């Protein structure tokens, strides 16, 4: 039976219908485009009208509680999951039209499906506008438009996850560097995993530079201290940097002040 979403996650007949893996894939649903203020209790009450729900969860930021706008509902029976897709997919809730489809377990087929979109208009861009832009290239299973925690205004950054890798790559090819209709600046579209690697590399380089600068400051500081000591006592000796501010002073008869004191 085809789902109301047109997704290719429709359960198919299996030679081993009793397997736990098959049961899980046929009963677990992902619900996208949930309103930010929707609670798990409200989501549960909505889906339990179809059949027995064994688990219901809205995905949130573990620190702030901010809803990512999607969740999961698992039914006891596969038939109930099918009816939930047929009945609730496309349902209007507040200002959102939810999408109900089968949730696939993570695997190789989910790699390179999540896109990192930047340079969006930071004040008036909406999820509906992004949906119109990206849906032409494939089936969107998740969208997260990042907003300022204080003002609630869009930050000009979004994540868009497609159903298939080919769809995500097609969106990059056709949308990266283009100017959306009615806008003035080109948007940037790239694989989210690559963005994460670039960000990690940037911070790794930044940390290395910070440590080098810190070491240099410590070296200059102790060089200054040594010169002050040298004025008071010309026999104080050599100053040697050992590691990150640890110094050794060796007494000597005379010190050549023209020789670098840090070595």
Domains and CATH numbers, the chain: 1-102 (3.30.70.330), 109-186 (3.30.70.330)
* Short-list 182, 166, 201, 184, CA closest to 8: 166
Look up the pTM and report it.
Answer: 0.44
**pLDDT score for 77:** 94
Q: Two tokens at 29?
A: 């649903």
Q: Two tokens at 68?
A: 């990512």
Q: How far is CA 70 from CA 106, 126, 179, 185, 258, in A?
A: 16, 16, 28, 29, 69
State how far Cα 51 lies from the chain centre. 33
Q: How far is CA 75 from CA 29, 44, 55, in A?
A: 8, 11, 7
Q: Per residue of the chain (263 residues), give pLDDT as tens.
A: 333 333 333 333 333 333 344 456 789 999 988 998 999 999 999 999 999 999 999 988 777 888 888 899 999 999 999 999 999 999 999 988 999 988 865 554 567 889 999 999 877 888 888 988 998 998 888 888 888 888 888 888 999 988 888 899 999 999 999 998 888 899 999 998 754 444 444 445 555 666 777 777 777 877 777 666 666 665 555 544 444 444 444 444 444 444 444 44
Q: What is the dihedral of CA 36, 39, 43, 49, to 10 degrees?
A: -140
């Amino acid at each position: 039976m085809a789902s109301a979403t047109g997704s290719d996650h429709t359960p198919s007949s299996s030679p081993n219908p009793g397997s736990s893996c098959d049961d899980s894939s046929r009963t677990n649903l992902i619900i996208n485009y949930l309103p930010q203020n929707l609670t798990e209790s409200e989501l549960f009450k909505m889906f339990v009208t179809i059949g027995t729900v064994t688990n219901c969860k809205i995905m949130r930021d573990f620190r702030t509680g901010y809803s990512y706008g999607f969740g999961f509902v698992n039914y006891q029976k596969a038939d109930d999951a099918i009816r939930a897709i047929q009945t609730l997919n496309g349902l209007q809730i507040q200002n959102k039209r939810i999408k109900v489809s089968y949730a696939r377990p993570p695997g190789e087929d989910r790699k390179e499906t999540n896109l990192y979109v930047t340079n969006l208009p930071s004040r008036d861009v909406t999820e509906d506008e992004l949906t119109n832009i990206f849906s032409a290239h494939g089936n969107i299973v998740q969208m997260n438009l990042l907003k300022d925690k204080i003002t609630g205004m869009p930050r000009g950054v979004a994540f868009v996850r497609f159903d298939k890798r080919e769809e995500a790559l097609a969106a990059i090819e056709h949308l990266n560097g283009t100017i959306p209709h009615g806008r003035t600046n080109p948007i940037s579209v790239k694989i989210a995993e690559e963005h994460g690697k670039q960000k990690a590399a940037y911070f790794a380089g930044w940390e290395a530079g910070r440590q080098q600068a810190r070491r240099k400051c410590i070296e200059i500081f102790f060089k200054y201290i040594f010169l002050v000591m040298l004025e008071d006592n010309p026999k104080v000796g050599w100053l040697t940097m050992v590691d990150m501010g640890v110094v050794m002073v060796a007494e000597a008869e005379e010190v050549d002040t023209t020789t670098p004191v840090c070595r």
